[in-house]
Amino acid sequence: MSDPPRRQPSRPSDLIEPVRTNGAAQGTWTEYLVLFMRIMAAVSLAKGLYHWSQVCSIGDSPQDTFAMHGTGWQAATVFFSVIDLVAAVGLWLAAAWGAVVWLTSTVSLAVIELFFPSVYGGSIFIVLTEIGLLGVYLWLAICSARERPA
């Protein structure tokens, strides 16, 4: 059987009709989730660039370059310099993989701070902040999923 022919748009503005939003859709949980993801994308971008500045020893004294740190610190810094930038792109696009990469980065940083304090110092403030951001994301994702009909 053949598919029915598709209706051609009668006006050029009909081509972008699915992109338009009406006033009733304002303030939905999905919009709040996307806003949160965009904010976290900016934060992840800043974190990734910060870690890259450490890899490149930008602003460091000659006695405090990347090569002078321990292997654990170097490995963690390179890991976060890459994963934070990848997460930033995925979060900005509101792609599902972006949230997964961001969650991986968030949990990894919390675990390193909590279980390996010799790497970055073991700040409980950073652990609580990362867990709080994780909780906000999960809450927004659940609320967003509930507002869509099955």
Domain residue spans in the chain?
29-147
* Residue found by looking up tokens 């209706």 in the block: 7
Distance CA 138, CA 100 (A): 12
Q: E strands within 2-72?
A: none
Structure tokens at 67: 């090569």
The identity of residue 44, as a single letter, is S
Distance CA 39, CA 61 (A): 32
Q: What is the pLDDT of residue 147?
A: 85
The identity of residue 63, as a single letter, is Q
Q: What is the pLDDT of residue 107?
A: 95
- Whether 60 contacts 68, CB under 8 Å: no
- pTM of the predicted model, to two decimals? 0.77
Identify the burial level of 84 via C-beta atoms within 10 angstroms of its C-beta, where 0-12 means exposed, 13-18 middle and 19 or more buried.
Answer: buried
Distance CA 50, CA 54 (A): 6
Distance CA 24, CA 97 (A): 29
Q: Per-residue confidence of the chain (150 residues) as pLDDT tens digits? A: 566 666 665 665 555 444 444 544 567 899 999 999 999 999 999 999 999 999 998 988 888 888 898 999 999 999 999 999 999 999 999 998 999 999 999 999 999 999 999 999 889 999 999 999 999 999 999 999 998 766
Q: Which of 100, 74, 72 is nearest to 86 (CA)?
A: 100
